[in-house]
Structure 1
Amino acid sequence: MSAQPPPLLELSGVHTHIGAYHILHGVDLAVPRGQVTLLLGRNGAGKTTTLRTIMGLWRASQGSVRLAGQDITRLPTPQIALQGVAYVPENMGIFADLTVRENLLLAARGARHAGQMDEARLQWIFGLFPAVEKFWNHPAGKLSGGQKQMVAVARAIVEPRELLIVDEPSKGLAPAIIENMIRAFEQLKAGGVTLLLVEQNLHFARRLGDGVAVMDNGRVVHAGRMAALAADEALQQSLLGLAL
């Protein structure tokens, strides 16, 4: 058997404190290159803190975060982004007073105006998310929740990314928009993008996930194949308190 390639992203023994609170208690997590990894767990398990620690928004107090073999634990967030990492937070981070076009332009570092944005890439994004094209010149704050989520993901991928991290991409979305988001993530994966998603919608997780890590009380308590977890109701009940 050939050796498994090293993961694109690897957390080893990561602890994170926020003020006086010890949130992460030694997180070990491997995100294989070119796959979709789901991070599941009950509310308050430490999932969002894990994502924010990866991005350097909160500092690990112990342990390491490695991207493609490079230690990024102490790098500032902008430098982590320059390594080809995009992050869509749970609140989406949309600039409400700016148009959809202006939101994407902010993330296109090589462009000073919309005419300098990569037209082929924009057309690809419009194919993934038709609402982005439809509301191109509308204030982003006027869009629905699902449309804002599409804009947030589109902004994250307006430049090529090696790793896309999204916190609860399906939260509050209508079923038809969830299907659209699933297809978009499938296309990104097919194009070689590695994805790490925090998700509460278990249908979404089962459809997309290659691998899964389940968190509880600031630790990863289970890691394996998503298909194996989806097939084992007893394991789902013990880890998540519910069944897929």
Structure 2
Amino acid sequence: MTELLLNLENVHTHIGLYHILQGVGFRAQRNRITLLLGRNGAGKTTTLRTIMGLWPASKGRISFAGTDIVGRSTSEISRLGIAYVPENMGIFPDLSVKENMLLAARNASRVTDIDQQRLEWIFELFPAVHQFWNRPAGKLSGGQKQMVAMARAIVEPRELLLIDEPSKGLAPAIVNNMAEAMLKLKQSGASILLVEQNLQLAREVGDDVAIIDAGRIVHTGPADECFARDDLLKTHLGLALCP
């Protein structure tokens, strides 16, 4: 049986005069990868940022592990066990990979304060983090920066990762490595809410799907059922998934 981890009910978000989310509601189960799919501008990133408290919900309820998180600060939400990997990765380019990791470890003032067993596990998931440990993060390739961003999000144990388009602009080999890392994260007990335009990657890793269109959720269900329906993909994504 699955266990509910994240629940959005009738969530509305306004940004200035714009009503972006218009009653969004869906669920993400524990220890599963939930895909949030939709066209550009449909409200995917706004949904992630609203969950994280970066943009306030103007109406509705968001609960995480049974706790209502609407109105809480981003730092409070983070401490509850949610990490966010934004589309722009959010790394500090002038700092080394090591310094980026250290900043994300709240209770560590030096690298030796970080759980070394967890750090070794992160190096196994993302070898580039270890390889470029002392290099300025801004000097890395796009794929390497993405690995640093994801590694930084899990330097401390997290129950839920919000990941926004990790494969964007990356070479196929790097995308495959990213998929493998996400599946290993799920095996370790983490849950993921993933925004992803690459439907091949989404099909490879996803367990469940929520499709958003014009600020509203128009479909939820198992990923394999969603990807078997070309009509659904064409209508709401403008795409079809080749077999």
The equivalent position to 1:179 in structure 2, one of 176, 182, 189, is: 176
Tell me the equivalent position of 1:102: 99
| Percent identity for Structure 1 against Structure 2 | 63
Residue in 1 aligned with 2:224?
Answer: 227
Which residue of the partner structure matches residue 237 of structure 2? Answer: 240
Tell me the distance in 2 between the aligned counterparts of 1:73 and 1:235.
Answer: 31
Residues 93-242 of structure 1: matches in 2 within 5 Å?
93-242=90-239
- 1:112-143 deviation line (CA, Å, top 9, x unaligned): 01121111111111111111000000000000
Unpaired runs of 5+ residues, structure 2, are none
Q: 2 CA distance for matches of 1:110 and 1:184?
A: 25
C-alpha distance in 1 between matches for 2:183 and 2:3: 22
**Within 2, Cα distance between the matches of 1:81 and 1:236?**
33
Query: Alpha-carbon deviations, 1:83-121, whole Å to 9, x = none?
Result: 011000110000000000000000111210112111111
Count of residue pairs brought into register by the alignment: 241
Work out the CA distance in 1 between the residues paired with 2:108 and 2:145. 22
SS state at 1:60 partner: coil
The 3-state SS of whatever aligns with 2:93 is coil
Distance 2:239 2:179 in 1: 22
Deviations 1:190-211 (A, max 9, x none): 1110100000000010000000
Secondary structure of the 2:58 match is: strand
Question: Aligned pair 1:72/2:69, yes or no?
Answer: yes
- Does residue 16 of structure 2 align to residue 13 of structure 1? no
| Unaligned ranges ≥5, structure 1 | none
Match of 1:33 in 2: 30
Post-superposition offset of 1:7? 1.5
TM-score with structure 2 setting the length? 0.97
After the TM superposition, list the runs of 4 or more consecutive aligned residues in structure 1 that deviate by more than 3 angstroms: none
Report the alpha carbon displacement of residue 220 of structure 1 after superposing the two structures with TM.
Answer: 0.6
> By how many angstroms is 1:6 displaced?
4.7
TM-superposition CA deviations, 1:18-73 (whole Å, max 9, x none): 01111000000100111000000000000000000000000000001100111000
Query: For residue 208 of structure 1, what is the amino acid of its counterpart?
Result: V
Q: Indicate the residue corresponding to 1:82 in structure 2.
A: 79
Cα RMSD (Å) of the superposition?
Answer: 0.9
State how far apart, in whole Å, the 2-side matches of 1:47 and 1:234 are: 21
Paired with 1:225 and 1:164, the residues of 2 have a C-alpha distance of 19
Hey, what does 1:57 align to over in structure 2? 54
- In the TM superposition, what is the alpha-carbon distance from 1:150 to its structure 2 partner? 0.1
TM-score, with structure 1 as normaliser: 0.97
CA deviation after TM superposition for structure 1 residue 5, in Å: 4.9
Q: Give, as a single letter, the amino acid of the residue that structure 1 aligns with 2:38.
A: G
Shift of 1:237: 1.3
Structure 2 CA distance for aligned equivalents of residues 86 and 130 of structure 1:
21
Rounded to whole Å, the distance in 1 between the matches of 2:215 and 2:153 is 27
Report the equivalent of 1:45.
42
